[in-house]
Amino acid sequence: MTVYLLNNHEFRSTTARGRWTKRTNEGVTVYAPENGRGNRKHLEFAVPICIDATPVKEKFRTILGVGEPRWNSRVEMINISFRCKDAVVVPVTDNSMGSLDQKGSTVTVSHATVSVRVVGFALDNLLVLNKALKLKLEAVLEIPGVGGGTVTIVTGELGSKHRELRNTFKFEQTVAIENPGDFYKHQNKVWEGRVSVQLIPGEEGLGTLAGLAPGVNPVGRKFLEEILHSDFTIIAQNMTRIPTHKLVLAAHSPVFQRMLESDCQETMENIIELDNSKEGVMAFLKFLYYSDIEDPIGNKRVALELLELGHKYEISSLENVMKALFLSVDCYSVDVGVTLFHRSGMVAGYEDLKAKAVRSIKLRKNDLKESTVFDELVRKDPEMTKELFALALWN
């Protein structure tokens, strides 16, 4: 599963400053050449980003399966700094730097690198939930000037390091890159680009959802997003046609497997109609193809659809993850609570979901008067309405 603190966020940096390599000489900080073979100059600029990280924190809390702490909505600062060092290239003057036939050419002593550092109170708060939290950063930097090109940075997993003087944490890593040219000449300029920061739960304190959800399958994602060689179609509500693959459906669902091995109309026409929204069907396929659950985490109505589809098509992994998702959330809207209560009452083994729905409805019982979902329950299932009154309203 994937949670992004920033997802393809466009930015403008502070003014880039040129620096010499920092060294300490007898306790005094000086800026000097990297070594006797060449000057190692570098460029530094920062990207301060103000975001309301509360939705991200709540999503991460849900994945970890922990109920506290909760945050009030507020804007917080995240600061991403980049230190870009040019490659060190020196001429070959003798065979100490290369073979004799290379004399007069150049040798790269050290490749160009970009060091990335990410800090901010939003990250400090997330570390309260998961001390083993790691980040992964991807950025595309646009080199200033006409025809400047771009620099692509993809880090590995960044672990946290404590900053004792400030009592905060930092995430940093240095990445070697293909040299795009002279970084240093772009000092006193503003850099632009896009950045994504992914949150990766560490093993320490992994909760229910993090343990249940399978790993992401990049090949499956490619097949779904690029619609490669599809041979079956799902028709969602509003007659939305969504191409898919029989093999994927049959591999995950015994119900689909039996259907596709029979001579039913759906198999002969390679089409099936589902009474689900387009968003619900797409989230369903994302889970089957590459184990993604970001949509249901962000939209509990979609989560309800996936819970029903998991049960209907006997996909236990999907059903279990959706159950864990609802059990990990403190309170949902009254419409979602009433729907969950109704469905839980009709499925064996959903008693814990039913109890959770009742607790959620109790917290929002004043909203029942405006709920069309509750009005529909009253009309269609009087007996279950009486039970809901007894459990949530009279106790």
**pLDDT one-digit tens code per residue, 36-50:** 334 456 789 999 988
Helix residue ranges per DSSP H, the chain: 54-64, 121-129, 208-212, 218-225, 246-252, 254-260, 265-269, 278-290, 294-298, 300-312, 316-328, 334-344, 351-363, 372-380, 382-388
Confidence label for 209 from pLDDT (cuts 50, 70 and 90): low
Say how far apart CA 335 and CA 386 lie, in whole Å: 17
Question: In which element (H, E) is residue 161 found?
Answer: strand 158-163
Q: Give the DSSP letter of residue 389.
A: I
pLDDT of residue 97: 47
CB atoms within 10 A of CB 377: 19
Residue 166, SS3 per DSSP: coil
Helix (H, G, I), strand (E, B) or coil at 21: strand
DSSP code string of 313-326: TT-HHHHHHHHHHH
Q: Quick one: how far is CA 232 from the chain centroid?
A: 29
Are residues 392 and 354 in contact, defined by beta-carbon separation less than 8 angstroms? no
- State phi, psi for 362 to the nearest 5 degrees: -60, -40
Cis peptide before 69 (omega within 30 of 0): yes
CA 366 to chain centre: 35
Reported as a pLDDT band with limits 50, 70 and 90, residue 110 is: low
- Tokens representing 157 are 């997993």
Closest by CA position to 199, among listed 342, 308, 21, 56: 56
User: Which residue bears the tokens 């005094």?
Assistant: 28
For the record, the structure tokens of 14 come out as 């502070």
In this prediction, residue 80 has a pLDDT band, given cuts at 50, 70 and 90, of very high
Task: Report the Cα 89 to chain-centroid distance in Å.
Answer: 39
Tens of pLDDT, residue by residue over 146-200, are 777 888 999 988 888 887 776 788 999 988 887 656 787 888 899 999 999 988 8
Residue 126 pLDDT exceeds 60: yes
pLDDT in tens, 249-280: 999 999 999 999 999 999 999 999 999 999 99
Spatial distance between the Cα atoms of 21 and 26, rounded to a whole number of angstroms: 16
**pLDDT digit string (tens) for 290-327?**
888 888 887 889 999 999 999 999 999 899 889 888 88
Which carries the bigger pLDDT value, residue 89 or residue 382?
Answer: 382
Please give the model's pTM, rounded to 2 decimal places: 0.56
Is the distance from CB of 45 to CB of 82 less than 8 angstroms? Answer: yes
What mean pLDDT comes out for the span 345-369? 89
* Mean pLDDT value across residues 115-121: 90
Share above pLDDT 90 across residues of the chain, in percent, rounded to a whole number: 36
Residue-level pLDDT at 144: 87
Q: Which residues contact 325 (CB under 8 A, 6 or more apart)?
A: 62, 209, 293, 296, 297, 303
pLDDT band at residue 100 using 50, 70 and 90 as cut-offs = very low
Highest mean pLDDT of the ranges 64-78, 272-286, 366-380:
272-286
pLDDT number for residue 285: 96
Res 205: pLDDT: 44
117, 81 contact by CB (below 8 A): yes
Mean pLDDT (whole number) for 22-47:
56
Taking the mean position of all CA atoms in its chain, how far away is CA 22?
36
The predicted structure's pLDDT at residue 248: 93
pLDDT grade for 213, boundaries at 50, 70 and 90: low
pLDDT of residue 216: 62
Q: Are 45 and 114 in contact (CB under 8 A)?
A: no
Structure confidence at residue 87 as a pLDDT band (50, 70, 90):
confident
